[in-house]
Each structure stands twice: as structure tokens, then as C-alpha cells.
Amino acid sequence: MLWDAVRTAWHASPDPQSASLPQQLIDHTHHVLRNSFRAELGLPAGPSTSAEWKVSAASMAETTVNVDGHDRPAIQIDTDPFVYAVGFRVDEHVVCTTVLPRDSLPFLDLALTTYE
């Protein structure tokens, strides 16, 4: 079971910073790391102010992701030892991000399908 693997975010009036694809991908990646890899990251129980484990925009690179059978422009985070993350903009209001544990990658064929 992959918990919190795919996230979509809709914004009526997208804020250029918080609703941006890079920020949404970072936020989703942090959520998965914080909730699934606490022990591996050495995070204490409860809230933590440590930022050493967090990914940054500098770790992103352009890529493509298969959506509905076609490659779409996307960005990825392929530098974290615990997760692989990829995201793309569905339209001007919707962003889709996917964060997967690296241990699961050999068993997955990463392809996404949109629904009306």
C-alpha cells in the first residue's frame, strides 16, 4: 500500500508562490518524508523545527511523466535517499504531485490517468 502517493491541488486564484508546481512538489515531499520516514530522518516525536532533512528547489530537475499515455512536461526530485517525487501542472488551476518510496520503485510503472 502506498500512502499519500498522489496529491492534486486546486486553487481558484493561484498564488504564484504557494500554488506553484515547485512549491506543491516540495510540500508533498516533506509531508511524505515527515510522516513515513521519521525514524530514518532522526526526527523526534511531535513537531520539529529541524530543517536539515528537507528538500529544496535546488534539488529539482525537468523531466517528463506519462499521463493518459502521453509524456507531459514535469519536474522531479530525484536526489532524496528515501523518496522519488514528480509533479506536473494539469491546467492553470490544478497541480498533480506524486511521491513514492524508493524501495517501491522497482515494482512500479509510473503512469497517471486523469478523470473528468
- Beta-bridged to residue 96, according to DSSP, are 8, 88
Average pLDDT on 10-31 reads 87
Average pLDDT on 16-34 reads 91
Average pLDDT on 93-104 reads 95
pLDDT at 51 over 90: no
pLDDT number for residue 14 = 66
Q: How far apart are CA 3 and CA 54, in angstroms?
A: 19
pLDDT at 49 over 80: no
Total-model pTM: 0.91
- Domain positions in the chain are 6-37+59-112
Angle at 41 between CA 61 and CA 2, to 5 degrees: 70
pLDDT number for residue 114 = 86
